[in-house]
Amino acid sequence: MGTISFFRFLILFFFIVSSFDIQAQSAKDYFISGIKKDASGNHADAIIDFDKSIALDSSRSGTYINRGVAKAAMGNHVAAIRDYNKAIQLNPKIMDVYVDRGVARVKLKEFRSAVADFNIAIALQPKNTYAYYNRALAYQNLGDFKEAIKDYSISIALDSKNALAYLNRGILQHDMGSKTAACSDWKSAAQLNLKKAKDLLKKYCK
For 16-35, write each residue's pLDDT tens digit.
333 334 455 699 999 999 99
User: Rounded to whole angstroms, how far apart are CA atoms 16 and 22?
Assistant: 10
Are 73 and 51 contacting, i.e. CB atoms less than 8 angstroms apart? no
Is the model's pLDDT at 11 over the cut of 70?
no
Residues sharing a CB contact under 8 Å with residue 14, sequence separation 6 or more, in sequence order: none
pTM: 0.85
Residues sharing a CB contact under 8 Å with residue 48, sequence separation 6 or more, in sequence order: 34
Task: Report domain 1-90's class.
Answer: mainly alpha
CA 144 from chain centre, in angstroms, equals 23
- For the chain, the domains span 1-90
Q: What's the mean per-residue pLDDT of the chain? A: 90
- Count of other CB atoms within 10 angstroms of residue 155: 25
For 120-169, write each residue's pLDDT tens digit.
999 999 999 999 999 999 999 999 999 999 999 999 999 999 999 999 99
Under the banding of pLDDT at 50, 70 and 90, the label for residue 206 is confident
Under the banding of pLDDT at 50, 70 and 90, the label for residue 117 is very high
User: Rounded to whole angstroms, how far apart are CA atoms 91 and 94?
Assistant: 7
For residue 57, give the 3-state DSSP assignment: coil
Are 69 and 82 contacting, i.e. CB atoms less than 8 angstroms apart? no
